[in-house]
Amino acid sequence: MSSLPALFGVLVFTFLLMRVLPGDPAVFFASGPNAGKEEIEVIRKQMGLDKPVPQQLLLYLYDVGRGNLGRSLMTGQAVTTDLRDRLPASLELTLTALLIALVSAIPLGVLAALKPGSVIDHGVRLFCALGVCVPTFVSGLLLIYVFYYLLGLAPDPTGRIDVFTSLPPSRTGFLTIDFLLAGDLDGWWAAFRQLILPAATMALFVIAPLARITRASMLVSLGSDFVRTARSVGLSWWRIVVTYALRNAILPVITIAGIVFSTMLGANVLVEKVYSWPGVASYALDALLSSDYAPVQGFVLLMASIFVVVNLLVDVLYGIADPRVSI
Protein backbone atom coordinates (compact mmCIF):
# COMPACT_ATOMS: atom_id res chain seq x y z
CA MET A 1 0.00 0.00 0.00
CA SER A 2 2.90 2.37 0.62
CA SER A 3 3.71 2.23 -3.11
CA LEU A 4 0.31 3.57 -4.18
CA PRO A 5 1.18 7.25 -3.50
CA ALA A 6 4.36 6.83 -5.54
CA LEU A 7 2.42 5.31 -8.45
CA PHE A 8 -0.14 8.11 -8.22
CA GLY A 9 2.66 10.68 -8.31
CA VAL A 10 4.13 8.99 -11.38
CA LEU A 11 0.74 9.12 -13.09
CA VAL A 12 0.24 12.81 -12.43
CA PHE A 13 3.82 13.82 -13.24
CA THR A 14 3.88 11.90 -16.53
CA PHE A 15 0.50 13.31 -17.54
CA LEU A 16 1.56 16.91 -16.89
CA LEU A 17 4.97 16.40 -18.50
CA MET A 18 3.41 15.18 -21.73
CA ARG A 19 1.19 18.27 -21.83
CA VAL A 20 4.08 20.73 -21.57
CA LEU A 21 6.19 19.11 -24.30
CA PRO A 22 6.42 21.16 -27.51
CA GLY A 23 4.36 20.20 -30.52
CA ASP A 24 0.71 19.51 -31.16
CA PRO A 25 -0.08 15.80 -31.49
CA ALA A 26 -3.36 16.61 -33.20
CA VAL A 27 -1.44 18.32 -36.02
CA PHE A 28 0.94 15.37 -36.31
CA PHE A 29 -1.80 12.79 -36.63
CA ALA A 30 -3.89 15.02 -38.94
CA SER A 31 -1.42 14.42 -41.78
CA GLY A 32 1.00 17.21 -40.95
CA PRO A 33 0.92 21.01 -40.66
CA ASN A 34 -1.02 21.43 -43.93
CA ALA A 35 -4.11 19.68 -42.56
CA GLY A 36 -7.33 21.63 -42.28
CA LYS A 37 -8.59 23.10 -39.03
CA GLU A 38 -11.64 20.84 -39.01
CA GLU A 39 -9.50 17.72 -39.29
CA ILE A 40 -7.19 18.93 -36.51
CA GLU A 41 -10.14 19.67 -34.24
CA VAL A 42 -11.57 16.19 -34.82
CA ILE A 43 -8.26 14.60 -33.79
CA ARG A 44 -8.02 16.92 -30.79
CA LYS A 45 -11.46 15.84 -29.61
CA GLN A 46 -10.56 12.19 -30.10
CA MET A 47 -7.51 12.69 -27.88
CA GLY A 48 -9.48 14.73 -25.35
CA LEU A 49 -7.24 17.77 -25.84
CA ASP A 50 -10.18 20.14 -26.27
CA LYS A 51 -10.90 20.01 -22.53
CA PRO A 52 -9.06 21.93 -19.76
CA VAL A 53 -5.96 20.18 -18.39
CA PRO A 54 -7.42 19.55 -14.89
CA GLN A 55 -10.47 17.92 -16.47
CA GLN A 56 -8.21 15.86 -18.75
CA LEU A 57 -6.27 14.69 -15.69
CA LEU A 58 -9.40 13.66 -13.79
CA LEU A 59 -10.72 11.76 -16.79
CA TYR A 60 -7.35 10.05 -17.26
CA LEU A 61 -7.17 8.98 -13.61
CA TYR A 62 -10.73 7.66 -13.85
CA ASP A 63 -9.86 5.63 -16.95
CA VAL A 64 -6.70 4.25 -15.32
CA GLY A 65 -8.73 3.19 -12.30
CA ARG A 66 -10.91 1.15 -14.68
CA GLY A 67 -7.87 -0.40 -16.35
CA ASN A 68 -8.19 1.72 -19.48
CA LEU A 69 -4.87 3.28 -20.52
CA GLY A 70 -6.27 4.84 -23.68
CA ARG A 71 -5.76 4.08 -27.35
CA SER A 72 -2.63 4.53 -29.41
CA LEU A 73 -3.10 6.64 -32.52
CA MET A 74 0.00 5.02 -34.03
CA THR A 75 -1.31 1.46 -33.98
CA GLY A 76 -5.03 2.08 -33.58
CA GLN A 77 -5.12 -0.43 -30.71
CA ALA A 78 -5.65 -0.10 -26.99
CA VAL A 79 -2.44 0.72 -25.12
CA THR A 80 -2.99 -2.24 -22.79
CA THR A 81 -3.09 -4.54 -25.82
CA ASP A 82 0.11 -3.08 -27.28
CA LEU A 83 1.94 -3.31 -23.97
CA ARG A 84 0.72 -6.86 -23.36
CA ASP A 85 1.93 -7.93 -26.79
CA ARG A 86 5.34 -6.25 -26.49
CA LEU A 87 6.19 -6.74 -22.81
CA PRO A 88 7.20 -10.43 -23.13
CA ALA A 89 9.79 -9.49 -25.76
CA SER A 90 11.35 -6.91 -23.44
CA LEU A 91 11.19 -9.20 -20.41
CA GLU A 92 12.79 -12.10 -22.27
CA LEU A 93 15.60 -9.87 -23.49
CA THR A 94 16.16 -8.18 -20.12
CA LEU A 95 16.04 -11.37 -18.04
CA THR A 96 18.47 -13.12 -20.38
CA ALA A 97 20.83 -10.14 -20.26
CA LEU A 98 20.63 -10.01 -16.46
CA LEU A 99 21.34 -13.74 -16.23
CA ILE A 100 24.39 -13.36 -18.48
CA ALA A 101 25.56 -10.40 -16.41
CA LEU A 102 25.16 -12.20 -13.07
CA VAL A 103 26.85 -15.39 -14.29
CA SER A 104 29.77 -13.29 -15.53
CA ALA A 105 29.98 -10.56 -12.88
CA ILE A 106 29.80 -12.63 -9.68
CA PRO A 107 32.74 -14.94 -10.54
CA LEU A 108 34.75 -11.94 -11.77
CA GLY A 109 34.06 -10.03 -8.57
CA VAL A 110 34.94 -13.02 -6.40
CA LEU A 111 38.19 -13.65 -8.28
CA ALA A 112 39.19 -10.00 -7.99
CA ALA A 113 38.44 -10.01 -4.24
CA LEU A 114 40.42 -13.21 -3.65
CA LYS A 115 43.50 -11.69 -5.28
CA PRO A 116 43.36 -7.93 -4.56
CA GLY A 117 46.02 -5.89 -6.32
CA SER A 118 46.93 -8.75 -8.66
CA VAL A 119 46.84 -8.87 -12.45
CA ILE A 120 43.41 -10.51 -12.25
CA ASP A 121 42.10 -7.73 -10.04
CA HIS A 122 43.39 -4.99 -12.34
CA GLY A 123 42.08 -6.85 -15.38
CA VAL A 124 38.59 -7.12 -13.90
CA ARG A 125 38.57 -3.44 -12.97
CA LEU A 126 39.73 -2.47 -16.46
CA PHE A 127 37.02 -4.61 -18.01
CA CYS A 128 34.42 -2.97 -15.77
CA ALA A 129 35.64 0.49 -16.72
CA LEU A 130 35.39 -0.32 -20.42
CA GLY A 131 31.92 -1.76 -19.96
CA VAL A 132 30.67 1.46 -18.39
CA CYS A 133 32.42 3.79 -20.85
CA VAL A 134 31.22 2.16 -24.07
CA PRO A 135 27.56 3.07 -24.86
CA THR A 136 25.20 0.19 -25.56
CA PHE A 137 24.49 1.22 -29.13
CA VAL A 138 28.24 1.30 -29.88
CA SER A 139 28.86 -2.13 -28.34
CA GLY A 140 25.79 -3.42 -30.14
CA LEU A 141 27.02 -2.23 -33.51
CA LEU A 142 30.48 -3.67 -32.81
CA LEU A 143 29.03 -7.06 -31.89
CA ILE A 144 26.90 -7.04 -35.03
CA TYR A 145 29.92 -6.14 -37.13
CA VAL A 146 32.11 -8.87 -35.64
CA PHE A 147 29.71 -11.78 -35.13
CA TYR A 148 27.29 -11.15 -38.00
CA TYR A 149 29.28 -9.35 -40.70
CA LEU A 150 32.82 -10.69 -40.21
CA LEU A 151 32.36 -14.13 -38.68
CA GLY A 152 28.83 -14.97 -39.80
CA LEU A 153 28.08 -16.66 -36.46
CA ALA A 154 25.04 -14.57 -35.55
CA PRO A 155 21.82 -14.19 -37.54
CA ASP A 156 20.79 -10.87 -39.03
CA PRO A 157 19.59 -8.43 -36.33
CA THR A 158 15.98 -8.18 -37.48
CA GLY A 159 13.88 -8.93 -34.43
CA ARG A 160 12.99 -11.98 -32.35
CA ILE A 161 12.79 -14.55 -35.12
CA ASP A 162 13.87 -14.89 -38.73
CA VAL A 163 11.36 -14.85 -41.58
CA PHE A 164 11.82 -18.57 -42.32
CA THR A 165 10.71 -19.75 -38.85
CA SER A 166 7.05 -20.12 -37.90
CA LEU A 167 5.98 -18.76 -34.54
CA PRO A 168 4.92 -21.29 -31.89
CA PRO A 169 1.55 -21.17 -30.09
CA SER A 170 1.75 -18.22 -27.69
CA ARG A 171 1.58 -19.47 -24.10
CA THR A 172 4.07 -17.36 -22.17
CA GLY A 173 5.13 -14.80 -24.78
CA PHE A 174 8.75 -15.89 -24.28
CA LEU A 175 9.68 -17.45 -27.61
CA THR A 176 12.41 -19.67 -26.20
CA ILE A 177 9.96 -21.14 -23.68
CA ASP A 178 7.06 -21.38 -26.14
CA PHE A 179 9.22 -23.26 -28.64
CA LEU A 180 10.26 -25.72 -25.93
CA LEU A 181 6.65 -26.22 -24.87
CA ALA A 182 5.76 -26.87 -28.50
CA GLY A 183 8.63 -29.37 -28.82
CA ASP A 184 10.19 -27.41 -31.68
CA LEU A 185 13.94 -27.53 -31.02
CA ASP A 186 14.82 -25.99 -34.39
CA GLY A 187 12.56 -23.05 -33.61
CA TRP A 188 14.07 -22.76 -30.13
CA TRP A 189 17.57 -22.62 -31.59
CA ALA A 190 16.48 -19.95 -34.09
CA ALA A 191 14.93 -17.84 -31.31
CA PHE A 192 17.95 -18.34 -29.04
CA ARG A 193 20.38 -17.24 -31.78
CA GLN A 194 18.35 -14.08 -32.32
CA LEU A 195 18.28 -13.41 -28.56
CA ILE A 196 21.87 -13.98 -27.52
CA LEU A 197 23.53 -11.02 -29.27
CA PRO A 198 21.19 -8.24 -28.04
CA ALA A 199 21.21 -9.84 -24.58
CA ALA A 200 25.03 -9.84 -24.57
CA THR A 201 24.99 -6.18 -25.61
CA MET A 202 22.82 -5.27 -22.64
CA ALA A 203 24.80 -7.49 -20.28
CA LEU A 204 28.12 -5.82 -21.13
CA PHE A 205 26.84 -2.52 -19.77
CA VAL A 206 25.60 -3.91 -16.43
CA ILE A 207 28.40 -6.39 -15.70
CA ALA A 208 30.53 -3.51 -14.40
CA PRO A 209 28.36 -2.38 -11.45
CA LEU A 210 27.54 -5.97 -10.50
CA ALA A 211 31.19 -7.06 -10.58
CA ARG A 212 32.37 -4.02 -8.62
CA ILE A 213 29.77 -4.42 -5.88
CA THR A 214 30.57 -8.15 -5.67
CA ARG A 215 34.26 -7.39 -5.32
CA ALA A 216 33.71 -4.75 -2.62
CA SER A 217 31.29 -6.95 -0.66
CA MET A 218 33.60 -9.96 -0.86
CA LEU A 219 36.55 -7.93 0.42
CA VAL A 220 34.48 -6.88 3.44
CA SER A 221 33.27 -10.44 4.07
CA LEU A 222 36.73 -11.98 3.71
CA GLY A 223 38.09 -9.56 6.31
CA SER A 224 35.29 -10.17 8.82
CA ASP A 225 35.54 -12.01 12.14
CA PHE A 226 33.39 -14.99 11.14
CA VAL A 227 35.69 -15.77 8.19
CA ARG A 228 38.75 -15.61 10.44
CA THR A 229 36.98 -17.92 12.89
CA ALA A 230 36.12 -20.35 10.09
CA ARG A 231 39.77 -20.40 9.05
CA SER A 232 40.94 -21.02 12.60
CA VAL A 233 38.74 -24.12 13.00
CA GLY A 234 40.21 -25.62 9.84
CA LEU A 235 37.32 -25.37 7.39
CA SER A 236 38.21 -25.76 3.73
CA TRP A 237 38.96 -22.61 1.79
CA TRP A 238 36.27 -23.40 -0.78
CA ARG A 239 33.62 -23.77 1.92
CA ILE A 240 34.70 -20.55 3.61
CA VAL A 241 34.47 -18.59 0.34
CA VAL A 242 31.18 -20.01 -0.93
CA THR A 243 29.22 -20.79 2.23
CA TYR A 244 30.27 -17.93 4.48
CA ALA A 245 31.86 -15.07 2.55
CA LEU A 246 29.84 -15.19 -0.67
CA ARG A 247 26.50 -15.72 1.05
CA ASN A 248 27.00 -12.57 3.10
CA ALA A 249 28.46 -10.64 0.17
CA ILE A 250 25.54 -11.51 -2.08
CA LEU A 251 23.06 -9.30 -0.19
CA PRO A 252 24.11 -5.96 -1.73
CA VAL A 253 24.43 -7.72 -5.09
CA ILE A 254 20.74 -8.67 -4.88
CA THR A 255 19.84 -5.02 -4.27
CA ILE A 256 21.91 -3.80 -7.20
CA ALA A 257 20.53 -6.58 -9.42
CA GLY A 258 16.98 -5.44 -8.69
CA ILE A 259 17.81 -1.84 -9.51
CA VAL A 260 19.74 -2.88 -12.62
CA PHE A 261 16.85 -5.01 -13.86
CA SER A 262 14.34 -2.18 -13.56
CA THR A 263 16.76 0.21 -15.25
CA MET A 264 17.52 -2.22 -18.07
CA LEU A 265 13.86 -2.86 -18.79
CA GLY A 266 13.08 0.80 -19.27
CA ALA A 267 16.38 1.96 -20.75
CA ASN A 268 17.06 -0.76 -23.31
CA VAL A 269 15.52 1.32 -26.09
CA LEU A 270 18.85 1.69 -27.89
CA VAL A 271 19.40 -2.06 -27.94
CA GLU A 272 15.85 -2.62 -29.16
CA LYS A 273 16.36 -0.11 -31.95
CA VAL A 274 19.73 -1.48 -33.02
CA TYR A 275 18.42 -5.05 -33.17
CA SER A 276 14.87 -4.19 -34.35
CA TRP A 277 13.54 -5.81 -31.19
CA PRO A 278 9.76 -5.31 -30.79
CA GLY A 279 9.76 -4.37 -27.11
CA VAL A 280 7.93 -1.83 -24.99
CA ALA A 281 10.85 0.63 -24.85
CA SER A 282 11.04 1.11 -28.62
CA TYR A 283 7.24 1.31 -28.69
CA ALA A 284 7.32 4.13 -26.12
CA LEU A 285 10.06 5.97 -28.00
CA ASP A 286 8.10 5.87 -31.25
CA ALA A 287 5.07 7.18 -29.39
CA LEU A 288 7.10 9.96 -27.78
CA LEU A 289 8.52 11.10 -31.13
CA SER A 290 5.01 11.29 -32.57
CA SER A 291 3.53 12.96 -29.46
CA ASP A 292 1.19 10.02 -28.90
CA TYR A 293 0.42 10.62 -25.23
CA ALA A 294 -1.38 7.44 -24.19
CA PRO A 295 1.39 4.90 -24.99
CA VAL A 296 4.05 6.98 -23.22
CA GLN A 297 1.90 7.39 -20.12
CA GLY A 298 1.05 3.70 -20.14
CA PHE A 299 4.71 2.76 -20.52
CA VAL A 300 5.81 4.91 -17.58
CA LEU A 301 3.04 3.48 -15.40
CA LEU A 302 4.06 -0.05 -16.41
CA MET A 303 7.71 0.60 -15.54
CA ALA A 304 6.77 2.09 -12.17
CA SER A 305 4.59 -0.93 -11.37
CA ILE A 306 7.35 -3.35 -12.36
CA PHE A 307 9.79 -1.42 -10.18
CA VAL A 308 7.47 -1.90 -7.19
CA VAL A 309 7.16 -5.63 -7.89
CA VAL A 310 10.92 -5.99 -8.27
CA ASN A 311 11.48 -4.29 -4.91
CA LEU A 312 9.11 -6.76 -3.27
CA LEU A 313 10.96 -9.64 -4.94
CA VAL A 314 14.28 -8.27 -3.68
CA ASP A 315 12.91 -8.30 -0.12
CA VAL A 316 11.90 -11.94 -0.53
CA LEU A 317 15.34 -12.87 -1.88
CA TYR A 318 16.90 -11.05 1.07
CA GLY A 319 15.02 -13.35 3.41
CA ILE A 320 16.26 -16.40 1.50
CA ALA A 321 19.88 -15.24 1.40
CA ASP A 322 19.93 -14.03 5.01
CA PRO A 323 17.56 -15.85 7.39
CA ARG A 324 18.00 -13.05 9.95
CA VAL A 325 15.95 -10.72 7.73
CA SER A 326 12.85 -12.93 7.99
CA ILE A 327 12.96 -13.15 11.77
Task: Summarize pLDDT for 21-43 with one digit per residue, the tens.
Answer: 766 666 666 665 556 677 777 77
User: Whole-model pTM above 0.95?
Assistant: no
**What domains, with CATH codes, occur in the chain?**
4-65 (no CATH), 87-279+297-326 (1.10.3720.10)
Q: Decide: 128 and 111 in contact? Cβ < 8 Å.
A: no
More confident residue, 291 or 144: 144
Q: Decide: 213 and 127 in contact? Cβ < 8 Å.
A: no
pLDDT for res 212: 87
At 327, the pLDDT band (50, 70, 90 cuts) reads: very low
Query: What DSSP assignment string belongs to 269-326?
Result: HHHHHHTT---HHHHHHHHHHTT-HHHHHHHHHHHHHHHHHHHHHHHHHHHHH-GGGG
Task: Summarize pLDDT for 255-282 with one digit per residue, the tens.
Answer: 888 888 878 887 788 888 889 899 898 8
Long-range contacts of 119-128 (CB under 8 A, 24+ apart): 121/215, 124/211, 124/215, 125/212, 127/207, 127/208, 127/211, 128/207, 128/208, 128/209, 128/211, 128/212
CA atoms within 13 A on the CB side of 143: 25
At 124, the pLDDT band (50, 70, 90 cuts) reads: confident
